[in-house]
Amino acid sequence: MRSTQRHDRPDLEQPSARLPVRRAGIDTYRQPVLYLHRDCTVSRAEGFAALTRVSVKCAGQEVVAVLNIVTGDWLGKDEAALSDAAWQMLAPEPGAIAILAHAEPPRAASVLRAKVFGTRLNEAQFEAVLRDALAARLSDIELAAFVTVCAGDRLDLDESVALTRAMISVGDRIDWGSGPVLDKHCVGGLPGNRTTPIVVSIVAALGHRIPKTSSRAITSPAGTADVMATMTDVDLDIGALRNVVDREGGCMASGGRMRLSPADDILIQIERPLDLDGDGQMVASILSKKAAAGSTHVLIDIPVGATAKVRTMAAADAIARRLVFVGEAVGLRIGVHISDGRQPVGRGIGPALEAHDVLEVLRNSPQAPRDLRERALDVAGAVLELLPAIAPGSGRIQAEGALASGAAMRKFIAICMAQGGFREPGRARFVEPFVAPADGQLGCINNRQLARIAKLAGAPRNPTAGVVCTLREGDSIRRGMPLFLVHAGSKGELAYALDYARAHPDTLSLRESRS
């Protein structure tokens, strides 16, 4: 009876369940972690063990943390420490006392188990999982299980709709009023395919609204937000974003500071180390962000190639059908642009290197990568043709005019200035070529391995790091000529990337030249 009264009355917590708390100074990614010494009297009294989920309350705030047991002497027996993530959630005062107790099981635990055993989930069940995730009531292990059981083809069309709606419902939405709001997205997997800054500049220069929010890189060497961050401020809140769009018609911001589908941001952080991005979750991720951002007309670019994210036309068609079905269900008009994903676009792979390519295209430089220019015009034209007033074929013509006249470049600078100012992207300190081992002809380019080399060189963590590759399939190669240039911020990263390239000669495979 006493035990029941103690649990029902938080004010009667036993003194043994209270400990002074301090910051451990340990980055645990996003997982709240509590540290207790193995000889801690509270841990023994409460029956805590490693990986126990513990409720930590302090000054009216609560966080559910996973317990790690400390066997060394850096933590006292009668104190608790919190990881950086847990500390930021609680924000305790110096010398604060924390109340520790076994955490209640998360409400979504039964939903997770049901999905593991093949149950189809509805919107309310998905929402329960997402709300527990946002409240940090689910551990990374539980979230990884959720991501895994939803990967591949484990979500049907109705579940994709339900997950998308749930993602929208647990976040904020922007209302831009009447009239079309344009947007575009590329499913990724193609290094250097940085069309967004060019497309947004063209569309906004032609007088249309295109408030573009983008994510940081998930598994690639650069996301659009990483590229734009080398030239302007991208961490805007919703108020700042509205001001930019009201002033210039478009923006190119990171969604990180906005609660636009915030649950998706958590799932992405789990997907990144697992390198998972299933069709159902990918569609829900894309379209929940677009709907939350107030978009009405969205073009999705799907590059298809043997080493791209989408490898076959059959897979592209399946994703396209899912996108259109889910988009219609949540009130979006979706256009799909299937493009060539066999080889990189532009020359640079990495935030600053891709930014240099973008600027050359916008400045109409004779040295601008032609493939990036043409692809950006194709995508911009397709975005414009989502509008009923623009006839098929005329969108690209309008886009080309805006680019050639310099209007797109002027609009790009204006958007950057509205977001905090424009700056030229930087250059890496160390650059070294990876040379051809023999004469031949360039066969195929492995996009995934080329992107891997760019990441080993430091991208996107170091914005100037990455790879520059000017070659394309069919080009003639002479022994000793550079196949690509590795850009790095340190000699160690440079050597690491080059070692990987030497161990993977099929990154750019050569075949004998035809006589």
Catalytic residue positions, numbered:
277
The side-by-side arrangement of strands in the sheet containing 430-435 is: 348-349, 466-468, 482-488, 430-435
Helix (H, G, I), strand (E, B) or coil at 356: helix
CA 32 → CA 106, 142, 269, 282, distances in Å?
A: 15, 13, 14, 26
Question: Is 510 in contact with 491 (CB distance < 8 Å)?
Answer: no
Which tokens sit at 449? Answer: 């391995």
Using CB atoms within 10 Å of the CB of residue 315, give its burial: 0 to 12 exposed, 13 to 18 middle, 19+ buried. middle
Length of the chain: 515
**β-pair partners for 55:** 64, 101
Question: Is 493 in contact with 465 (CB distance < 8 Å)?
Answer: yes
Which tokens sit at 316? Answer: 């592209």
What type of residue sits at position 96?
A: A
Residue 151's nearest CA partner among 163, 136, 135 is: 163
What type of residue sits at position 514?
A: R
Helix (H, G, I), strand (E, B) or coil at 363: coil
Q: CA–CA separation, 311 vs 338, rounded Å?
A: 12
Question: Is 339 in contact with 304 (CB distance < 8 Å)?
Answer: yes
Pairing label, strands 53-58, 97-102: antiparallel
Question: Is 349 in contact with 450 (CB distance < 8 Å)?
Answer: yes
- Residues in contact with 299: Cβ distance below 8 Å, sequence separation at least 6, in sequence order: 182, 183, 184, 185, 334, 335, 336, 337, 379, 382, 383, 386
Residue 136's nearest CA partner among 202, 220, 61, 199 is: 61
Residue 129's nearest CA partner among 152, 147, 102, 117 is: 147
Q: CA–CA separation, 33 vs 227, rounded Å?
A: 33
Helix (H, G, I), strand (E, B) or coil at 475: coil
Q: CA–CA separation, 289 vs 277, rounded Å?
A: 16
Q: CA–CA separation, 205 vs 240, rounded Å?
A: 20
Pairing label, strands 430-435, 80-82: unpaired
**Is the preceding peptide bond at 460 cis, omega within 30 degrees of 0?**
yes
